[in-house]
Structure 1
Amino acid sequence: MSASPSLTVGEAEARLPELSVVDVRTPGEFASGRLPGAVNVPLERIEERLPELRDSTGGRPLLLVCASGARSEQAVAALASHGLVAASLSGGTRGWASAGHPLEYPPGAVRRVWGIERQVRFAAGTLVLLGLVLGLLVHPAFQVLSAGVAGGLVFSAVTDTCGMAVVLGRLPFNWRGTASDG
């Protein structure tokens, strides 16, 4: 995996007034707390919103943000392939909040959606347990479910992609929470 430009929380905080901040999480995650002034452009839509991103920055440097920094690094790479330079926030919104910096919440946002990474851990763990329990109680063939999830996790780590995150990111509760998806 190639390294992408990134800013530490301290560097981003010092430069925040001069940056255009784009949060690449789902709208549901975005509603659970964002950097001040951030706009939401989900990772799945980053390339289709490229013209808007070029026009809206007003010459200001782009800072891409997600929960941990992984998706924002993917977005930095996607934008770079189209000639648009951006940086990723190391540690994401978790790192920002852990450093004691405040998060903004959209008006009317009252519910908190788990981050995609937490949803993936929950879903994978549930499927593994389900496969093991059904394999013991119903039929041993159900253990294939656990093996399939384990194989998917290994593939995800090796390729630095996550099909389960893509699927979970498309669920309706991950798209509620903001007045629009943009």
Structure 2
Amino acid sequence: MTAPTIDSHDLHQMLDSATPPRVLDVRTPGEFETAHIAGAYNVPLDLLQEHRDEIIKHLDEDVVLVCRSGQRAAQAEETLRTAGLTNVHILDGGINAWETNGFAVNRGATRWDLERQVRLVAGSLVLTAVLGSIAAPKLKWLAAGIGGGLTFAAVSNTCAMGMALSKLPYNRGASCDAQTIVSQLVGPGPTDQKAK
């Protein structure tokens, strides 16, 4: 089953309607802080997957999932649909498409997005292993392992390295726990104002 996507223009109109959808941004808190759609709730993918049953109890309106480009939102959508939630959509092209189409975002401290961090770590490990293999030939297997992991990540549309990096303090905020997220979903919601 293909997930229903929604484009940036339609989401913008829906957000201005009398019954706006609940926007869940499944990126890391660090990425969310850099730029996010006003009024969006930050529910990192790993926490959503781990606490999905608790979270879906508070999602009775339409839900639009947002990430950088759509990959993590697709994983979140599958998690929510598996749990029985049917009113879920994915922002086509993610926050990248939202900004490209000229829609405003709330900005904070700039941090590298998770995909860029994965490229840095994987590339550094491969380069180090290849150069190190001159002195210690068995290091070439580290480079092969990273290459195999990246291939598996592409085929399975998952990324173990990305999930591990998302747990680093750089990518986490002080309020990145399931209890805080659920209390936001139940309470008045995000404190930021609508970007114009």
SS at match of 1:31: helix
8 A Cα contact 2:48 2:55, kept in partner = no
8 A Cα contact 1:22 1:64, kept in partner = yes
Q: What does 1:5-20 align with in structure 2 at a 5 Å threshold? A: 5-17=4-16, 18-20=20-22
Q: State the alpha-carbon separation in 2 of the partners of residues 84 and 45 from structure 1.
A: 17
Q: Which residue of 2 aligns with 1:51?
A: 54
SS at match of 2:36: coil
The reply on whether 1:78 has 2:79 as its aligned counterpart is: yes
Q: State the alpha-carbon separation in 1 of the partners of residues 7 and 27 from structure 2.
A: 19
SS at match of 1:100: coil
Paired residues in the alignment total 172
**1:49: how far off?**
4.7
**How big is the alpha-carbon RMSD for the aligned residues of Structure 1 and Structure 2?**
1.5
8 A Cα contact 1:41 1:49, kept in partner = no
Given the alignment, which residue of 119, 143, 159 partners 2:156? 159
Given the alignment, which residue of 33, 49, 70 partners 2:35? 33
1:39-83 Cα shifts (integer Å, max 9, x gaps): 11111111415434432x4x4210010111110111111000111
Runs of 5+ in structure 1 lacking a partner? none
Q: State the alpha-carbon separation in 2 of the partners of residues 10 and 50 from structure 1.
A: 31
TM-score by length of 1: 0.88
Q: What does 1:12-161 align with in structure 2 at a 5 Å threshold? A: 12-17=11-16, 18-47=20-49, 48-55=51-58, 57=59, 59-85=60-86, 86-105=88-107, 109=108, 111-136=109-134, 138-161=135-158
Q: State the alpha-carbon separation in 2 of the partners of residues 54 and 10 from structure 1.
A: 28
Q: State the alpha-carbon separation in 1 of the partners of residues 55 and 131 from structure 2.
A: 49
Q: State the alpha-carbon separation in 2 of the partners of residues 120 and 26 from structure 1.
A: 13
Runs of 5+ in structure 2 lacking a partner? 182-196
1:110-141 Cα shifts (integer Å, max 9, x gaps): x32211111111111111111111112x2221
Moved over 3 A (4+): 49-54
1:140-180 Cα shifts (integer Å, max 9, x gaps): 2111111111111111111111111111111111003xx52
**1:16: how far off?**
1.8
8 A Cα contact 1:64 1:72, kept in partner = yes
Q: Which residue of 1 aligns with 2:3?
A: 4
